Structure 1
Amino acid sequence: MADPNPLLSQAGSEEPEAAPPLTEGKRKGPTLDDTIEHCIGDFGWTQILQITLVSFAWFFDAHQIFISIFTDAEPKWSCINSNFSSSCNENSNLCRLPRESWSWDFPASTSIISEWSLECAGSIITGLPESAFFSGSLVGGFALASLADSALGRKNMLVLSILLMSLTGVLTALSTNVWMYAGLRFIAGFWRAPLGASALVLATELVGKKWREKVGIIGFIFFSVGFLALPLIAFLLQGSSWRLIYLWTCVPSMFYSIVVFFVVQESPRWLFVKGRKDEFAETLRSIAAPANRSSLTQSFFGRCAQWEEKKQETDIFSALKILVEKGWSCRRLLAVMVVGFGHGIIYYGMPLGLGNLSFNLYLSVTLNALSEFPASFVAFILIGKLDRKGSILGLSLLSGVCSVCCVFVRWKVLQIALELTSFSSACTAFDIVSIYTLELFPTCVRNSAVAMVRQALVLGGALGSVLVAVGRKRGLLLSYGVFGFIISICGLFVVCLPETRGRVLCDTMEEEERKNAAFDRIYCA
Structure 2
Amino acid sequence: MGSLGGATSDLRSPLLLPSERRLGIDEVLRQHAGEFGRWQLRHFVLVSAAWALEAFHTMVMIFADRETSEEPRQWDWLGGGAASTVAEWGLVGEQRYKIGLVQSAFFLGCMIGSGVFGHLSDSFLGRKGSLTVVCILNALFGFLTSISPAYWFYLALRFLTGFSTGGVGLCAFVLATEPIGLSKRGVAGMSTFYFFSAGIALLAAIAYLFDSWRLLYVVTSLPSLLFVLIILPFVSESPRWYLVRRKTPEAMAVMHSIAKKNGEHIPPGVVVVLDGEHEEHKEDNQVAEIKNNGKVAVAAASIIDVVRSPTTRVRLVLMVAINFLSSVVYYGLNLNVVNLETNIYLSVLLNAVAEMPAYLLTAVLLDRFGRRPLAIGTLWLSGVFCVMGSLASGVAAMKEVRMACGVIGIFGMAATYNLLFIYTAELFPTVVRNAALGCASQASQMGAIAAPLVVVLGGPLPFAVFGLCGMVGGFLAFLLPETMNRPLYDTMARLEEGERH
Q: Which category of TM-score, normalised to the shorter sequence, fits these structures? A: 0.7 to 0.9
Contact conserved, 1:159 with 1:260, CA < 8 A, in 2? no
Per the alignment, residue 5 of structure 2 pairs with none
Among 105, 110, 114, the residue aligned to 2:83: 110
Among 165, 168, 172, the residue aligned to 1:192: 165
Contact conserved, 1:464 with 1:483, CA < 8 A, in 2? no
Per the alignment, residue 51 of structure 2 pairs with 58
1:400 correspondence with 2:383:
yes
Deviations 1:77-104 (A, max 9, x none): 9xxxxxxxxxxxx9xxxxxxxxxxx974
Counterpart CA distance in 2 for 1:305 and 1:428 is: 37
- The structural deviation recorded for 1:30 is 2.9
Among 142, 167, 175, the residue aligned to 2:140: 167
Per the alignment, residue 476 of structure 2 pairs with 493
Unaligned runs of 5+ in 2: 1-18, 290-295
- The structural deviation recorded for 1:165 is 1.4
Per the alignment, residue 432 of structure 1 pairs with 419
Greater relative contact order, per chain length (Cα 8 Å cut-off, separation 6+):
2
* Greater mean deviation of Cα atoms: 440-449 or 280-289: 280-289
Q: Kindly provide the amino acid, as one letter, of the partner of residue 118 in structure 1.
A: L
1:312 correspondence with 2:298:
yes
* Greater mean deviation of Cα atoms: 488-497 or 305-314: 305-314
Among 429, 435, 455, the residue aligned to 1:468: 455
Among 383, 401, 404, the residue aligned to 2:366: 383
TM-score, normalised via structure 1 length: 0.83
1:41 correspondence with 2:34:
yes
- Judged with a 3 Å threshold, the aligned counterparts in structure 2 of structure 1 residues 104 and 195 are, in CA distance, closer, same or farther, namely closer
Among 121, 144, 157, the residue aligned to 2:117: 144
- The structural deviation recorded for 1:260 is 3.9
Among 237, 246, 250, the residue aligned to 1:266: 237
Counterpart CA distance in 2 for 1:396 and 1:340 is: 11
- Judged with a 3 Å threshold, the aligned counterparts in structure 2 of structure 1 residues 112 and 436 are, in CA distance, closer, same or farther, namely same
Contact conserved, 1:43 with 1:289, CA < 8 A, in 2? no
- The structural deviation recorded for 1:330 is 1.5
- The structural deviation recorded for 1:51 is 0.7
Counterpart CA distance in 1 for 2:204 and 2:76 is: 24
Per the alignment, residue 410 of structure 2 pairs with 423
Contact conserved, 2:248 with 2:272, CA < 8 A, in 1? no
Counterpart CA distance in 1 for 2:147 and 2:462 is: 34
Among 317, 329, 342, the residue aligned to 2:312: 329
1:359 correspondence with 2:332:
no
1:282 correspondence with 2:282:
no
Contact conserved, 2:122 with 2:241, CA < 8 A, in 1? yes
Contact conserved, 1:58 with 1:222, CA < 8 A, in 2? yes
Contact conserved, 2:32 with 2:259, CA < 8 A, in 1? yes
Deviations 1:85-143 (A, max 9, x none): xxxxx9xxxxxxxxxxx974552211000011222343322222111101111122233
- Judged with a 3 Å threshold, the aligned counterparts in structure 2 of structure 1 residues 330 and 372 are, in CA distance, closer, same or farther, namely same
- Judged with a 3 Å threshold, the aligned counterparts in structure 2 of structure 1 residues 235 and 446 are, in CA distance, closer, same or farther, namely same
Per the alignment, residue 5 of structure 1 pairs with none
1:124-273 equivalent positions in 2, closer than 5 A: 124-237=97-210, 240-273=211-244
- Judged with a 3 Å threshold, the aligned counterparts in structure 2 of structure 1 residues 488 and 139 are, in CA distance, closer, same or farther, namely same
Contact conserved, 1:157 with 1:198, CA < 8 A, in 2? yes
Counterpart CA distance in 2 for 1:302 and 1:241 is: 53
Deviations 1:429-476 (A, max 9, x none): 1211111111111111111111211211111111111111232xxx2x
Counterpart CA distance in 1 for 2:379 and 2:40 is: 33
Q: Secondary structure at the match of 1:148?
A: helix
Counterpart CA distance in 1 for 2:303 and 2:272 is: 32
- The structural deviation recorded for 1:39 is 3.8
1:30 correspondence with 2:23:
yes
Counterpart CA distance in 1 for 2:272 and 2:496 is: 28
- Judged with a 3 Å threshold, the aligned counterparts in structure 2 of structure 1 residues 460 and 103 are, in CA distance, closer, same or farther, namely closer
Q: Kindly provide the amino acid, as one letter, of the partner of residue 226 in structure 1.
A: G
Among the aligned pairs, what percent are the same residue?
Answer: 33
Contact conserved, 1:54 with 1:264, CA < 8 A, in 2? yes
Counterpart CA distance in 2 for 1:176 and 1:439 is: 45
- The structural deviation recorded for 1:292 is 5.5
Q: Kindly provide the amino acid, as one letter, of the partner of residue 243 in structure 1.
A: R
Counterpart CA distance in 1 for 2:323 and 2:38 is: 34
- The structural deviation recorded for 1:370 is 0.6
Per the alignment, residue 123 of structure 1 pairs with 96
- Judged with a 3 Å threshold, the aligned counterparts in structure 2 of structure 1 residues 232 and 275 are, in CA distance, closer, same or farther, namely same
How large is the RMSD of aligned CA atoms in angstroms?
A: 2.4
Q: Kindly provide the amino acid, as one letter, of the partner of residue 339 in structure 2.
A: N
Contact conserved, 1:150 with 1:319, CA < 8 A, in 2? no
- Judged with a 3 Å threshold, the aligned counterparts in structure 2 of structure 1 residues 104 and 294 are, in CA distance, closer, same or farther, namely closer
- The structural deviation recorded for 1:41 is 2.6
Q: Secondary structure at the match of 2:180?
A: coil
Aligned length: 461
Q: Secondary structure at the match of 2:330?
A: helix
Q: Kindly provide the amino acid, as one letter, of the partner of residue 60 in structure 1.
A: L
Contact conserved, 2:236 with 2:254, CA < 8 A, in 1? yes
Q: Secondary structure at the match of 2:228?
A: helix
Q: Kindly provide the amino acid, as one letter, of the partner of residue 45 in structure 2.
A: T
- Judged with a 3 Å threshold, the aligned counterparts in structure 2 of structure 1 residues 305 and 340 are, in CA distance, closer, same or farther, namely closer
Q: Kindly provide the amino acid, as one letter, of the partner of residue 88 in structure 2.
A: E
- Judged with a 3 Å threshold, the aligned counterparts in structure 2 of structure 1 residues 50 and 290 are, in CA distance, closer, same or farther, namely closer
Contact conserved, 1:40 with 1:208, CA < 8 A, in 2? no
* Greater mean deviation of Cα atoms: 66-75 or 37-46: 37-46
- Judged with a 3 Å threshold, the aligned counterparts in structure 2 of structure 1 residues 400 and 291 are, in CA distance, closer, same or farther, namely closer
Contact conserved, 2:259 with 2:265, CA < 8 A, in 1? no
1:72 correspondence with 2:43:
no
Contact conserved, 1:154 with 1:201, CA < 8 A, in 2? yes
Contact conserved, 2:139 with 2:224, CA < 8 A, in 1? yes
Q: Kindly provide the amino acid, as one letter, of the partner of residue 196 in structure 2.
A: F
Per the alignment, residue 342 of structure 1 pairs with 325
Contact conserved, 2:25 with 2:272, CA < 8 A, in 1? no
Q: Secondary structure at the match of 1:496?
A: coil
1:301 correspondence with 2:271:
yes
Counterpart CA distance in 2 for 1:273 and 1:432 is: 26
Q: Kindly provide the amino acid, as one letter, of the partner of residue 74 in structure 1.
A: E
Deviations 1:380-425 (A, max 9, x none): 1111211211111111111011112212223222221110000010
Q: Secondary structure at the match of 1:359?
A: coil
Q: Kindly provide the amino acid, as one letter, of the partner of residue 265 in structure 1.
A: S
Counterpart CA distance in 1 for 2:491 and 2:128 is: 20
- The structural deviation recorded for 1:247 is 1.2
Counterpart CA distance in 2 for 1:169 and 1:302 is: 41
Counterpart CA distance in 1 for 2:213 and 2:500 is: 54
- The structural deviation recorded for 1:46 is 2.3
Counterpart CA distance in 2 for 1:118 and 1:382 is: 46
